[in-house]
Amino acid sequence: DIQMTQSPSSLSASVGDRVTITCRASQSIANYLNWYQQKPGKAPRRLMFAASGLQSGVPSRFSGSGSGTDFTLTISSLRPEDSATYFCQQSYSMPPTFGQGTKVEIK
Amino acid sequence: QVQLQESGPGLVKPSETLSLTCSVSGASISSYYWSWIRQSPAKGLEWIGYIHSRGSNNYNPSLKSRVTISLDTSNNLFSLKLTSVTAADTAIYYCATYDNSGVNYWGQGALVTVSS
């Protein structure tokens, strides 16, 4: 299985800050990388697909980049409603695997 | 808009079979790859498997010997059976769609606890 490793595991930032989350795959996955946001008690929600594709309805302050093994999710200007846990997931090979999550808190 | 709703027992005894159903609305069961994913503090998000109406399925090798995912096209739903459960199978179980862009639609999740 392809291992997905996210960093940091958690972060605390202020409203308006630029936030970057990193995801590293244990082998090359081209651009088959998706990002999700999960709030407590809710199912995850897809934010990005194919590394940099913005899911319909997701604010443009979210962006993604990367290819191969290294990927980033960036929130350009953090808002209170962005407090959540973020997961990356590879869809390059079976079985699909997820990162362990990055919890974003608002200072 | 595709909507998914899990249903089934919230408590299962060790060594028994976990059974969940996902009701699909807003889409035909003949579309999409229909998946099950679970989430636990110990293992995080774990993909269980998928099925497509064309007959293809794919299971996580770590669970393959215990998992069956089936379709009920007459009632527009699909199901999960996981045999010989242990406490390690305690998790929130999500039904979902899946393709190579990941998961677009999720159910709300069903907590299943394995305990005697």
pLDDT band at B77; cut points 50, 70, 90: very high
The residue ranges of chain A whose pLDDT is under 50 are none
Whether pLDDT at B30 is above 90: no
Residue ranges of chain A whose CB lies within 8 Å of a chain B CB: 1, 32, 34, 36, 42-46, 49-50, 53, 55, 87, 89, 91, 94-101
Q: What is the pLDDT of residue B53?
A: 81
Q: What is the pLDDT of residue B29?
A: 86
Distance to chain B for A97, nearest Cα, Å: 7
Contact partners, residue B54, CB within 8 Å, separation at least 6: none
pLDDT band at B100; cut points 50, 70, 90: confident
Q: Are A34 and A50 in contact (CB under 8 A)?
A: yes
- Can you read off the two tokens belonging to residue B27? 């889409």
Q: Which of A52, A17, A38 is nearest to A83 (CA)?
A: A38
Q: CB A34 to CB B60 under 8 A?
A: no
Distance to chain A for B73, nearest Cα, Å: 25
Exposure of B84 in the CB half-sphere (CA atoms within 13 A): 5
Q: Are A49 and A61 in contact (CB under 8 A)?
A: no
Q: CB A95 to CB B108 under 8 A?
A: no
Q: Over the stretch A69-96, which tens digit does the pLDDT of each residue have?
A: 999 999 999 999 999 999 999 999 999 9
Contact partners, residue B39, CB within 8 Å, separation at least 6: B45, B46, B91, B92, B94, B109
Q: What is the pLDDT of residue B31?
A: 83
Distance to chain B for A28, nearest Cα, Å: 15
Q: Which residue of A has its CA nearest to B49?
A: A95
Out of A44, A49, A99, closest to residue B101 by CB: A49
Q: Over the stretch B33-68, which tens digit does the pLDDT of each residue have?
A: 999 999 999 999 999 999 998 878 999 999 999 999
